[in-house]
Amino acid sequence: MGRLKVPFFVLAFVAILLVFLVEVGSPLLLGGHDAAGALRDQALAVGVSDLPPDADATQPPGAGIPYLALIDVVALFTVSLMGLGLLLPDRLHGRIQGVITLIASIVLIIVSLILLIIAVVLLLTMIALFFAVPFGTIAYLVIWGFFPRGDAAVVLSLLMFLKIVFAVMLVLAQPRFLQNKGLVALIITSLLANVVLAFLQGLVPIILVSIVDELAAIVFAIVAIVWGIILLIGSIPAIVKAVRATATG
């Protein structure tokens, strides 16, 4: 099996870092285009014919892709921790690994919980407005009605490519990573989340995509909380070991 091949490992790190950055920055890439024409067509369809000339609508950025970052940050954190092992002495790395993981997992759980609550409230608001024809429907359409599905598919395809590059580079760096069941499960979770989001965004007509996108965001926040708990539990033996080593040494 041999030693860790550092260049491949660095490429894997860069790929997952890019994944995280693209996900977090996706609201700047997606949405913002004018959809006033489509709004007037939809308003007519629900019996509202006299929207004022300044009634405007823009494409929303969506929440699903940014929420993917809650899952992929776990992969970024794991690889960063491995990379830290290359830079720090084994003794020091072993002692701080558990504490860093504990803090990171608690932060992840709290952030995911807050974002989960925000997403649930937003989903309930969207549904309440959409089904309150016609005034609520108009409000829904103005804010969320014209999801940029094509642009989102491009971003998701880029993310999928980067995630595959990440997985392949990691295996090329050290084939023994495949024996790490947690890491393999995390990568499969991340890839499946991508597929689920692409599937949901394509499942419904455009004016409903924001609703299923928000639903996907809720699922991703829950998955991130589960991974946070797994990290939290996993950090405990490392902390106990570090404390014992400090006490005896």
Partner 1 sequence: MSTSQKVLLGVLVLITALFVVSVGTGSRAGQGSADSGKGGPVGLLHKLTGDAGQVPRKDVSPSSCAMTSGGVLTVKGSCVLHVAKSAGATRQLKLKAGNTPVTVTAPVPRQDYTADKQVDAGAEVDVAVDAKGADVSVACRGVQQCLVTVLEGS
* Residues of this chain that bind partner 1 (CB under 8 A): 38, 42-43, 45-52, 54-55, 121, 123-125, 127-139, 142-143, 149-150, 153, 156-157, 160, 164, 167, 171, 175, 178-179, 184, 188, 191-192, 194-195, 198-208, 211-212, 215
Identify residue 218 by its one-letter amino acid code: I
Smaller CB separation from partner 1, 57 or 225: 57
* Nearest distance, CB of residue 37 and partner 1, angstroms: 12
Contact 190, 156 (CB under 8 A): no
Instruction: Give one word for 199, left, alpha or beta, with left for phi > 0 and alpha for psi -120 to 50.
Output: alpha
3-state secondary structure 38-59: HHHHHHHHCCCCCCCCCCCCEC
Q: Which is nearer to partner 1, 188 or 240 (CB)?
A: 188
Using DSSP's 3-state secondary structure scheme, residue 34 falls into: strand
Any bridge partners for residue 102, and if so which? none
Please give, one letter per residue, the 3-state secondary structure of 195-223.
HHHHHHHHHCCHHHHHHHHHHHHHHHHHH
Nearer to partner 1, 109 or 166 (CB): 166
CB of 45 vs partner 1, minimal distance in Å: 5
**Residue among 234, 233, 212, 226 at smallest CA distance from 71:** 226
> Minimum distance between the CB of residue 185 and partner 1, rounded to whole angstroms?
11
**Closer residue to partner 1, CB minimum distance, 108 or 217:** 217
Cβ nearer to partner 1, comparing 11 with 129: 129
In the complex, the smallest distance separating the C-beta of residue 35 from partner 1, rounded to whole angstroms, is: 11
| Shortest distance (Å) from residue 20 CB to partner 1 | 19
